[in-house]
């Protein structure tokens, strides 16, 4: 598949094998397992609908299409194929298209990036027509899989075996292309389970239905009675046609913190008001996600009214497109909070290190900066980062710690501030917070003495 065309060369090939290749091109496929005819077909660059009609001439089938909107105009993409036994349309469940493999691609002579194999993100120059964009896709055998109109970004799927570095180099020279990047991979920050074997807390029941909502871009969400009234809406960005789930538990942990159902250890009760939340599953079952999925999720959260965005994931490699998305979110009035990371490398960690993001390290229950928190000039402060949670991360409930909890709790407190000060914009809230920070005087016992604390005293002053 390339642009809006389909090419097939098959001689007595099982239909299931051909459909598997369609899946690799990003199409969901469902086929009655009672049939698997042998297909002989030989054609080039036929319009996709006509090509499918030729391919499935001896079967009953149904097609679903997705309309992509972007600067080059609306484009139609085949999103699903269901193949039935002739005369018997029993319900079928389409298998989702498998995600591309993770690869490491050199972006220069010295730098490499972990990204999705055979995928590229693209922004066209102003004025590029649909016909010009189609010709560009055909030139590279690429499919436009999705787009984010607010950011002017397209996600392209390339043919198997493509050399991303070479194609990126070609795009950099193309007069139609403003910018192109690999679809970078980001990893969820792993919380640390404490030696404390105590069971999880009984969470407070959250009553929030209005106020400043926190979007949680994470591993997902498992519905819980204590949080039922806090959820404004939710989305599984990995499979938008399914209800949200959380195979790892981390996103649900952050939901308890961000909503105010669980408070970190060592915090006062003055910052436990209920906060509405928008949980979004951006990570797969391995805790990985792509830059495009994160940007798409961020735009969704803004459209749903999020005032604060909590991000507990990252990479040591910067992305111009993600930077643009963060800047756009700030322009829309959102406060963006990110975990600084749970490895004390001192190296910038993105998106936390971006200028429009509040990077948060973790405080231990005794008020010291946790010695496993990342550090550096990009870290704004440390916040309470240990909590006894009713949901585990790949394991049982109990005490967990890390900068992800600190970021979610900071998001929770900022949402409280915005609820109390509805006329305050993001800049006002951030300035007010930074003015309250506790500057450390006794730095003994801490390997990060320069990091200010967003401790109980600071939180109390901020929420006055």
**Cα separation, 69 vs 188, whole angstroms:** 30
pTM of the model: 0.91
Tally of CB atoms within 10 A around 163: 11
What is the pLDDT at residue 93?
87
Average pLDDT score over residue span 122-131: 96
Tell me the CATH number for domain 5-84: 3.55.50.30
| Of 175, 328, 312, residue with least CA distance to 257 | 312
pLDDT in tens, 156-207: 999 988 999 999 999 999 999 999 999 999 999 988 887 654 555 578 899 8
Tell me, what's the pLDDT at 103?
77
> What is the DSSP secondary-structure string of 314-338?
EBSS--HHHHHHHHHHHHTT-EEEE
Q: Which CATH number fits domain 189-462: 2.60.40.10, 3.40.50.200, 3.40.50.720, 3.40.50.300?
A: 3.40.50.200
Which residue did the predictor score with more confidence, 271 or 289? 289
Q: How far apart are CA 16 and CA 63, in angstroms?
A: 16
CB-CB contact of 261 with 203 (8 Å): yes
Q: How far apart, in whole angstroms, are the C-alpha atoms of residue 339 and residue 354?
A: 12
The proportion of the chain whose per-residue pLDDT surpasses 90, expressed as a percent, equals 80
CA dist 5 and 51 (Å) reads 8
The structural domains of the chain, with segments of one domain joined by +, span 5-84, 102-183, 189-462
Architecture field, domain 102-183: 2-Layer Sandwich (3.30)
Nearest-angstrom CA–CA distance, 346 and 380: 13
Burial bucket for residue 126 (CB in 10 Å: 0-12, 13-18, 19+): exposed
Which residues lie across from 179 on neighbouring strands?
Answer: 123
pLDDT tens per residue, range 169-179: 999 999 999 99
Cα end-to-end span (Å), the chain? 59
Q: What is the pLDDT of residue 269?
A: 58
Rounded to whole angstroms, the Cα distance separating 171 from 15 reads 35
User: Which pLDDT does position 445 carry in this prediction?
Assistant: 54
The predicted pLDDT at position 331 comes to 96
Summarize pLDDT for 73-118 with one digit per residue, the tens: 999 999 999 999 999 999 998 887 777 788 777 665 556 889 999 9
């Amino acid at each position: 598949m390339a642009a809006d065309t389909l090419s097939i060369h098959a001689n007595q090939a099982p239909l299931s094998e051909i459909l598997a290749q369609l899946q690799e091109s990003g199409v969901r496929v469902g086929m009655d397992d009672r049939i698997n005819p042998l297909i002989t077909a030989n054609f080039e660059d036929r319009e996709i609908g006509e090509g499918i009609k030729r391919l499935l001439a001896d079967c009953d089938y149904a097609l679903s299409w997705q309309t992509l909107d972007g600067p080059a105009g609306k484009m139609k993409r085949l999103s699903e194929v269901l193949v039935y036994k002739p005369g018997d349309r029993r319900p079928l469940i389409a298998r989702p298209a498998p995600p591309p493999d993770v690869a490491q691609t050199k972006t220069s002579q010295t730098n490499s990036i972990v990204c999705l194999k055979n995928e590229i993100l693209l922004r066209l120059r102003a004025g590029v027509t649909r016909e010009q964009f189609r010709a560009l896709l055909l030139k590279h055998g690429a499919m436009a899989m999705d787009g984010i109109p607010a950011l002017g970004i397209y996600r392209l799927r390339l043919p198997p075996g493509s050399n991303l570095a070479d194609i990126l180099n070609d795009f950099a020279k193309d007069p139609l292309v403003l910018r192109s990047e690999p679809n970078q991979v980001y990893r969820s920050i792993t919380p640390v389970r404490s030696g404390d074997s105590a069971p999880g807390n009984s969470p407070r029941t959250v009553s929030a239905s209005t106020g400043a909502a926190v979007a949680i871009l994470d591993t997902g969400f498992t519905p819980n009675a204590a949080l039922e009234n806090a959820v404004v809406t939710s989305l599984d960005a990995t499979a938008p046609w399914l209800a949200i789930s959380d195979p790892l538990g981390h996103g649900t942990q952050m939901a308890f913190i961000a909503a105010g159902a669980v408070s970190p250890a060592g915090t006062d009760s003055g910052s436990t008001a209920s906060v509405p939340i928008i949980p979004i599953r951006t990570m797969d079952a391995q805790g990985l996600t792509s830059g495009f999925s994160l940007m798409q999720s961020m735009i969704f959260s803004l459209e749903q009214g999020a005032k604060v965005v909590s991000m507990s994931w990252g990479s040591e490699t910067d992305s111009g497109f993600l930077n643009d998305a963060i800047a756009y979110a700030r322009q829309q009035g959102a406060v963006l909070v990110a975990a600084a990371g749970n490895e004390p490398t001192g190296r910038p960690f993105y998106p936390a290190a971006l200028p429009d993001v509040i990077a948060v390290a973790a405080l231990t229950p005794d008020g010291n900066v946790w010695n496993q928190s990342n550090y550096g000039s990009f870290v704004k402060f440390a916040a309470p980062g240990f909590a006894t949670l009713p949901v585990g991360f790949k394991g049982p409930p109990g005490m967990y710690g890390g900068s992800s909890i600190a970021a979610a709790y900071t998001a929770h407190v900022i949402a409280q501030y915005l609820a109390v000060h509805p006329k305050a914009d993001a800049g006002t809230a951030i300035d007010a917070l930074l003015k309250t920070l506790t500057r450390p005087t006794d730095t003994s016992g801490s390997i990060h003495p320069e990091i200010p604390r967003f401790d109980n005293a600071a939180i109390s002053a901020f929420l006055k």
